[in-house]
Amino acid sequence: MKNRNNYKLDIIPGVVLALFSLFYMSRIPGIKVFKGLGSTPLNNHFIPWLWGGSLLFLSLWLIVRGILKYRRLKAEGVISGEGSLFGALAEKREVIFSFIALIIYVAFMESVGFVIMTCIYVFVQILILTPVEKWAKNIVPALITAVITGCLLFYIFRSVLNVLLPVGMFGLGL
C-alpha cells in the first residue's frame, strides 16, 4: 500500500535542512582568511560554501519533490487525515523519555558524579524500556543492576583503565 503521507518525509526534513544550511552559510563570512605566504588560491571559505550550497540545493530538491508528491496525491484524493501532534508524541513517549533521561544523565554527570548519575540513569532507562505492566516485577532487579553497573564500571574504568570519569560533589571513589 502506498504511504499516503510520505510527502512529509521530504518536505519537513527539506525545510529543516534548508534552514540549517542557511545558518551554516551565514557563519562563513566570519571565518578569518589566511593571506600570508603559502596561502592557497582556494581559501578556507571555499569548501564550507561548497557543502553549505550543496545542502541548500539538495534540501530545496526535497521540498520541491515533496510538494509535487503532495499535489499528485491531493489530485488523486488519497491524502489521509492529519493525526494530532500530541497523539504522535504520545506514541513515541518511550523515545522522548529516553532522550530526556540521557540528556539529564550527561548534563549532571560532572556536578553529581558518574556513580550516582549512572545508578539513576540505568534504573530509569531500564524502566522506560520495560512495559509498564511488568514494572512491579522489575523494580528490584533494575535497582540491583543499576547499582552494580554504576559502581563496577566506575571502579574498572577510573581505577583500572585510568579513564577520567567525573567524581562529582560527593567525591565517591576517591
Partner 1 sequence: MILEGILATCQPLTILWIAIGVAVGIIFGAIPGLTATMAIVMFLPVTYSMSASQGIAMLMALYIGGISGGLISAILLNIPGTPSSVATCFDGKPMANKGQAGKALGTGVVFSFVGTLIGIAILVVLAPVLCAFALKFQAYEYCALALFSLSMVVALTGSDMPKGLISAVLGALLATVGLAPIDSRSRFTFNLFQLNNGFALVVLLIGLFAISEVMSFAESVRKKQDFTIEQNVKMKGAGFTFAEFLAQIPNAIVSALIGVGIGILPGIGGGVSCMIAYTVSKNTSKHRELYGTGIMDGVVASETANNATIGGAVIPLLSLGIPGDAATAMLLGGLMIHNVAPGPLIYEKNGAVVYAIFTAMLISAVFMLLFMLWGMRFFVSVLKVPKNYLLPIVMVLCGIGAIGNANQLFDTYVMVGFGLMAYLMIKAKIPTVPMILGFILGPTFEENLRRVSQLSSSDPFYNHPIFCVLIVATVLVVIFSARANIRDAKREEAAGD
Residue 98 Cα to chain centre, angstroms: 11
Write out the binding residues for partner 1, residues 85-104 only, by CB under 8 A.
Answer: 92, 94-95, 97-99, 102-103
Q: How far from 134 is each of 52, 99, 121, 125, 139, CA to CA, in Å?
A: 48, 22, 19, 14, 9
The nearest distance, CB 2 to partner 1, in angstroms, is: 4
The grid cell for 167 is 567524581
Do 24 and 55 meet the contact criterion of CB atoms below 8 Å apart?
yes
CA distance 136 to 127: 10
Binding mask 35-74 for partner 1 (x = CB under 8 A): ---xxxxxxx-xxx--xx-xx--xx-xx--x---------
CA distance 167 to 29: 42
The nearest distance, CB 81 to partner 1, in angstroms, is: 19
Enumerate binding residues for partner 1 (CB under 8 A): 2-3, 9, 12-13, 17, 24, 27, 31-34, 38-44, 46-48, 51-52, 54-55, 58-59, 61-62, 65, 92, 94-95, 97-99, 102-103, 105-107, 109-110, 118, 121-122, 125-126, 128-131, 138, 141-142, 145, 149-150, 153, 157, 160-166
